């Protein structure tokens, strides 16, 4: 079946450090891939998405590229800020829509000044 | 409304009791989803509504769980004979239509069964 595996946290970084959170997936067909973020005390928010192979999603300085050959969608940011501290979830859907999102277990990011 | 609203934000109930969790989606959103998030896990899909009908209820764990959306707006997730294992955060999300790639999530209802 379809599944998402992401690196365990917490990931602890100093401000301005480079961030990578790994995400790999197993899926049949051609899923869409997402990163959602949950800031403390808030609901899940879509951070970025990619709907086909080689697409790059980007938002707020974060990027992720849909790599079909490695079944990966790693999240990167060149210089993190304290305000990026949150839990990040990688997710996929069966197709381009969101009728059924399958989430990873989440990775907590802690950024210190 | 401005966002997806879920009530109550917290619910503590005794084992064996019945509970209802409410979701008020963003106005005009036709698609509505319920997910369950256990501690340390990602959200797990429960059920998806398109309008008033349940288009996919394959994630409901057993027949103690039921959800309705009678007028195509507000939805209620109903859990009968609650068990301690039902304790989790129940999340609701909505999108303008199923083909929309962005689902907007509420802050969830934390259910604790004691």
pLDDT of residue B78: 98
Q: What's the pLDDT tens digit per position in B53-74? A: 998 899 999 999 999 999 999 9
Averaged pLDDT, A31-46: 91
Cβ neighbors of B53 (< 8 A, separation 6 or more) are: B69
- The residue ranges of DSSP E strands in A1-112, in sequence order, are 3-6, 11-14, 19-21, 23-26, 32-38, 45-50, 56-59, 62-65, 75-77, 86-93, 101-103, 107-112
pLDDT above 90: residue A96: no
For residue B58, give the chain A residue with the closest CA.
A100
Which positions in chain A touch B31 (Cβ < 8 Å)? Answer: 98-99
pLDDT of residue A54: 95
Kindly list the strands in the beta sheet with A19-21, ordered across the sheet, starting from the edge strand earlier in the chain.
A19-21, A75-77, A62-65, A56-59
Q: What's the pLDDT tens digit per position in B19-33? A: 999 999 999 999 999
Strand, coil or helix: what is A57? strand
What rounded mean pLDDT belongs to chain B? 93
CA–CA separation, A7 and B95 (whole Å): 28
Asked whether the beta carbons of residue A44 and residue B4 sit closer than 8 angstroms, the reply is no
Strand, coil or helix: what is A111? strand
Q: In whole angstroms, how far apart are CA B24 and each of A103, B2, B32, B77, B104?
A: 23, 10, 9, 12, 12
Cβ-based burial of A14 (10 A; exposed 0-12, middle 13-18, buried ≥19): exposed
Averaged pLDDT, A83-95: 91
Given A4, A96, A98, which is nearest B103 (Cβ)?
A98
Residue B11 binned pLDDT confidence (cut-offs 50, 70, 90): very high
CA–CA separation, A13 and B82 (whole Å): 41
pLDDT of residue B101: 66
Record the tokens describing residue B102, joined without a space: 């962005």
Averaged pLDDT, A79-101: 86
Averaged pLDDT, B38-50: 92
Asked whether the beta carbons of residue B48 and residue A91 sit closer than 8 angstroms, the reply is no
Averaged pLDDT, A23-41: 91
């Amino acid at each position: 079946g379809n599944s998402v595996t992401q690196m365990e946290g917490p990931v602890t970084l100093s401000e301005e450090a480079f961030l990578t959170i790994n995400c790999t997936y197993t899926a049949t067909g051609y899923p869409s891939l997402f990163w959602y973020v949950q800031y403390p005390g808030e609901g899940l928010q879509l951070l970025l998405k990619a709907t086909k192979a080689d697409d790059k999603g980007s938002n707020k300085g974060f990027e992720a590229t849909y790599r079909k050959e490695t079944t990966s969608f790693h999240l990167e940011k060149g210089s993190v800020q304290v305000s990026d501290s949150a839990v990040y979830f990688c997710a996929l859907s069966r197709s381009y829509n969101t009728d059924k999102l399958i989430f990873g277990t989440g990775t907590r990011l802690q950024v210190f000044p | 409304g401005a966002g997806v609203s879920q009530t109550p934000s917290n619910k503590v109930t005794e084992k064996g009791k019945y509970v209802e969790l409410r979701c008020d989606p963003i106005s005009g959103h036709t698609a509505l989803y319920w997910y369950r998030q256990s501690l340390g896990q990602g959200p797990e899909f429960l059920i998806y509504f398109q309008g008033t009908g349940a288009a996919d209820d394959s994630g409901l764990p057993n027949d103690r769980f039921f959800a309705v959306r009678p007028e195509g707006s507000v939805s209620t997730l109903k859990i009968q004979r609650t068990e301690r294992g039902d304790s989790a955060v129940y999340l609701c999300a909505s999108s303008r239509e199923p083909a929309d790639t962005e689902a907007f999530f509420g802050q969830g209802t934390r259910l604790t069964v004691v």
